[in-house]
Structure 1
Amino acid sequence: MALNQQFSDRPRTLVVGGGYVGLYVAHKLQKKIKSHGGIVTLVDPLPYMTYQPFLPEVAGGNIEARHAVVSHRTHLKQTELITGKVTGIDHASRTATVAPADGSEPFELTYRDVVMAAGSITRTFPIDGLKEQGIGLKTIEEAVALRNQMLERIETGSLMAAGPERDRALTFVVVGGGFAGIETITEIEDMARAAVKKNDRLEQSDLRFVLVEAMGRIMPEVTESQAVWVVAHLRSRGIQVKLNTSLASAVDGQLKLINMPDKTPADEFETDTLIWTAGVQANPMVRSSDFPIDERGRIRANAELRITGDDGPLEGAWTAGDVAAVPDLTGGGVGGFCVPNAQHAVRQAKLLAKNIYAQNNGVGRVKEYKHKNLGAVAGFGQYKGVANIMGFGMRGLPAWLAHRGYHGMAMPMFERKFRVVFNWVLSFVFGRDTTQLMDLQTPKRQFREAATPPPKKAEVPSSAGAAKSDSYGEPARK
């Protein structure tokens, strides 16, 4: 496979992945590396970075979908951008194989430094029917699809007679009791109830929301007492919380739940909307490289964010974020490693950019990553939330304000922050948007119907002596 001649032959810093880490590393390095005669190249299948903490609000109609993503082309103007996937890396020869998103021939790129920032994907289990019936909440596309599906099911359910089919349409299930699951079910519950208020064919009691969590508690990032309060809060809103419960089957939307750990039958019911938020895993593309991988599929790293093998750090190889097993020097991480969240990813990315520049240009020194988790904030729909900030617990409106404040600040790029805050102002004034967008999966349907000639009218055979009609259908008078 030949090297692609369309791209720069300057010394390249190759960034694999355009999420939190990739975006920030490229943004911080693009001008500096260019001034030294090099170039930053970012490869990602998508032309934007998704701010994933906002996905529940996108699904709930509080934030417009495009405002929860950051365009690579808009903000990485001095970075060489390639829309595609890195399908292989041979670090021994400093070469990466890239498959363009348009399906054209793969090509090779050489590099001086590589940053593995491919992030994570949804972690699933081999549950019958899950692949066909479930939807995740890891991408902006999933958030938009979920929002429209829920609004469609509510509208369609309102036209059905009471019975099992209507109950199925108006039952919404979330599997996973972490931050993503709790924020998702509360946001969509808020949105669904707002939609029902506008539909006089439905009552609030027609809706059913179910949260399924395999462990005995939810949200391990908050204190035990806060977790107990969150469960009570959810139940006060009519959300069924099933702890120590797991999904055993989802074939044809027929959910079978089992008790944990004995795996005895727990419940069985039908739904058209099954949302899976039960964890993430490192992007499996890392297995197509010659980098050392740990038992959980993450790239092995040291505290300086260098990729590290049995014989020490690999020259010119760096990593951070969800795809990396970065030691947590504060001692607070699970298994001794930084947990996969946005707080670590953003901070690691900023240090990683400084370390690469220091290593290659002798400006400053390479430092170790050490950041004590400041806590966690979660929003539960309008004016509701929970927070644990440096050991100080909050709930209700103060926690909701802390959630909005933190994520408003953490959203990359000023123009994106402004758009998001403006969305929040509009929602405060006019309420959340419950408008369903139709035909997103079949956008050409109406045009094709318009372009299809109508069927020819069948000709009525004439018979002898039959009276002719005038233009009003009456027999013609002689």
Structure 2
Amino acid sequence: MNTVTRPRILVVGAGFAGVECVRRLERKLSPDEADVTLVTPFAYQLYLPLLPQVASGVLTPQSIAVSLRRSKKYRTRIIPGGAIGVDLKSKVCVIRTITDQIVDEPYDYIVLAPGSITRTFDIPGLTDHAFGMKTLAEAAYIRDHVIAQLDLADASQDPVERASRLQFVVVGGGYAGTETAACLQRLTHAAVKRYPRLDPSLIKWHLIDIAPKLMPELGEKLGSSAQEILRRRGIEISLGTSIAKAGPEEVTFTDGRVIPTRTLIWTAGVVASPLIATLGAETVKGRLAVAPEMNLPGEDGVFALGDSAAVPDLAKGDGAMCPPTAQHALRQGRHVADNVIASLRAQTMKPYVHKDLGLVVDLGGTDAVSKPLGIELRGLPAQAVARGYHWSALRTNVAKTRVMTNWLLNAVAGDDFVRTGFQARKAARLKDFEYTDAYLTPEQVRARVEGARAPE
């Protein structure tokens, strides 16, 4: 009896790039043309740009987490787990499931979109005492933690402890750090009015970055406008500065200042997923070096995109690489799906080209700066563009309805200051949310795959 095996397409990662790729594959491939499998530890797509609004309570966590199992029409098989190694020669992906089992998943075509992890440095105490802002759990935890500091300060009889609990430090002057500091400062500014025993002047937010400017991509004028908005709110901005060491009750800056604080939020950039290092292939600053068609040169059926791939930016030229933004990831996801299908059907693949549409920065309330198509906007017009862009980028009508409802409710009723007690009995820091020690080395991947094939 002859058995016909359909080509197996394995997509790693359920971020913007991975989910867009899967959905396009489902729309354009007939059911008997290929089997599509998605590897992800969480069966939802997270809309990362809105995480600061979850941390500040403007949005609920589920409003920006779009379920991948909600619709019955999708036929992709979901493996709940994380890819920890890839053997390109044997065409096998090693997966650690959420039950902690390690399984080998063979493929004919693989699309690597594992995203990125928080970039850290060898700073004493950093991973033990800093919070990250890369996952939904971290955003929810930070909100709880910040409100808890107000409660604990209110309950304390020690003025030194009270002052330290009311100082907050955010490291990273990019979009994530700037929006996080802006949104959380608004939360504490509104919340302290409900604590008559606390002196509002004791609440201090520090935003620091080693770079000479905040969000330099915005340009001189908009960058200065953003700084002016933050400083007007009382956020102290220190540029050309970073962290020398972090402790449980204080942070030391590289300029020698020691800030008593119980809250250090680290948003100083991202690096490609450690999965990329398991391939043993050429990289560019840790990102997998791919062709303009987003395939890996010299390897059959291997594609990579998003934060973990160094995709040439043909629209800019001069050897530029596409930045790790949602805007590029969405379009790369659809484009790489088309190229996978072209490869499967023995057709010609097309290079990826996309001209950046601009930048949006939501600073909370009516404050924002945006640069759509090179047009500089501030205030309400910028806020309308920023939220309009985010709202339109949400993939489902359910998510759009939830987000819009949250925005309207917050605008009418204001903030709420409910502390849920999330992980209240156990402190959770940067090292507790990203499992960077789970990945294999290229040698371990190869030894495992060869061992699994050896006859008993």
**TM-score for the superposition, normalised by structure 1:** 0.85
2:178 aligned residue = 182
Deviation of 1:417 after TM superposition, in Å, equals 1.5
1:446 aligned residue = none
Which of the pair has more CA radius of gyration? 1
- Of 67, 73, 80 in structure 2, the residue corresponding to residue 83 of structure 1 is 80
Partner amino acid for 1:378? V
Q: Trace 1:218-367 onto structure 2 (pairs within 5 A).
A: 218-259=214-255, 265=256, 267-290=257-280, 292-309=281-298, 314-331=299-316, 336-361=320-345, 365-367=348-350
Deviation of 1:252 after TM superposition, in Å, equals 2.7
1:397 aligned residue = 380
Secondary structure of the 1:318 match is strand
Following the alignment from structure 2 to structure 1, what is the Cα–Cα distance between the partners of residues 122 and 5? 45
1:296-350 deviation per Cα after TM superposition (whole angstroms, max 9, x unaligned): 11111111111125xxxx22111110000000012268x6100111111011111
Following the alignment from structure 1 to structure 2, what is the Cα–Cα distance between the partners of residues 332 and 440? 47
Following the alignment from structure 1 to structure 2, what is the Cα–Cα distance between the partners of residues 237 and 46? 37
Partner amino acid for 1:387? S
Secondary structure of the 2:300 match is strand
Alignment pair present for 1:125 and 2:91: no
Deviation of 1:240 after TM superposition, in Å, equals 0.5
Alignment pair present for 1:414 and 2:414: no
Deviation of 1:441 after TM superposition, in Å, equals 4.5
Deviation of 1:295 after TM superposition, in Å, equals 4.0
Assess, with a 3 A threshold, how the Cα gap between structure 1 residues 103 and 171 changes in structure 2: closer, same or farther. Answer: same
Preserved CA contact (<8 Å) 1:86 1:96: yes
Structure 1 unaligned regions, length at least 5:
1-7, 260-264, 444-478
Secondary structure of the 1:54 match is helix
* More off after superposition, 53-62 vs 15-24: 15-24
Following the alignment from structure 2 to structure 1, what is the Cα–Cα distance between the partners of residues 54 and 304? 29
Assess, with a 3 A threshold, how the Cα gap between structure 1 residues 322 and 346 changes in structure 2: closer, same or farther. Answer: same
Preserved CA contact (<8 Å) 1:221 1:375: no
Q: Trace 1:91-170 onto structure 2 (pairs within 5 A).
A: 91-104=88-101, 106-161=102-157, 163-170=159-166
Preserved CA contact (<8 Å) 1:176 1:213: yes
- Of 207, 214, 219 in structure 1, the residue corresponding to residue 203 of structure 2 is 207
Alignment pair present for 1:58 and 2:47: no
1:47 aligned residue = 43
Preserved CA contact (<8 Å) 1:327 1:336: yes
Secondary structure of the 2:336 match is helix
Structure 2 unaligned regions, length at least 5:
427-456
Preserved CA contact (<8 Å) 2:293 2:352: yes
Q: Trace 1:20-35 onto structure 2 (pairs within 5 A).
A: 20-35=16-31
Assess, with a 3 A threshold, how the Cα gap between structure 1 residues 436 and 141 changes in structure 2: closer, same or farther. Answer: same
Deviation of 1:440 after TM superposition, in Å, equals 3.6
Deviation of 1:414 after TM superposition, in Å, equals 2.2
Secondary structure of the 1:86 match is strand
Preserved CA contact (<8 Å) 2:229 2:367: no
Following the alignment from structure 1 to structure 2, what is the Cα–Cα distance between the partners of residues 352 and 124? 30
1:14 aligned residue = 10
Partner amino acid for 1:320? L
* More off after superposition, 157-166 vs 120-129: 157-166
Following the alignment from structure 2 to structure 1, what is the Cα–Cα distance between the partners of residues 283 and 103? 28
Secondary structure of the 1:308 match is coil
- Of 420, 423, 444 in structure 2, the residue corresponding to residue 437 of structure 1 is 420
Assess, with a 3 A threshold, how the Cα gap between structure 1 residues 152 and 179 changes in structure 2: closer, same or farther. Answer: same
- Of 208, 212, 217 in structure 1, the residue corresponding to residue 213 of structure 2 is 217
* More off after superposition, 298-307 vs 112-121: 298-307
Preserved CA contact (<8 Å) 2:144 2:422: no
Partner amino acid for 2:390? H
Secondary structure of the 2:254 match is strand
Assess, with a 3 A threshold, how the Cα gap between structure 1 residues 139 and 390 changes in structure 2: closer, same or farther. Answer: same
Alignment pair present for 1:194 and 2:179: no
Following the alignment from structure 1 to structure 2, what is the Cα–Cα distance between the partners of residues 219 and 66? 28
Following the alignment from structure 1 to structure 2, what is the Cα–Cα distance between the partners of residues 386 and 102? 44
Following the alignment from structure 1 to structure 2, what is the Cα–Cα distance between the partners of residues 225 and 258? 28
1:225-266 deviation per Cα after TM superposition (whole angstroms, max 9, x unaligned): 22122212211111100111111011233211124xxxxx2x
**Greater relative contact order (Cα 8 A, min sep 6): structure 1 or 2?**
2
1:67 aligned residue = 63
* More off after superposition, 136-145 vs 68-77: 68-77
Partner amino acid for 1:94? K
Assess, with a 3 A threshold, how the Cα gap between structure 1 residues 197 and 332 changes in structure 2: closer, same or farther. Answer: farther
Assess, with a 3 A threshold, how the Cα gap between structure 1 residues 202 and 317 changes in structure 2: closer, same or farther. Answer: same
Preserved CA contact (<8 Å) 2:141 2:422: no
Give structure 1 regions of 4+ aligned residues with deviation exceeding 4 angstroms.
none
1:462 aligned residue = none
**TM-score for the superposition, normalised by structure 2:** 0.89
Preserved CA contact (<8 Å) 1:175 1:181: yes
Partner amino acid for 2:410? S
- RMSD of the alignment, in Å? 1.9
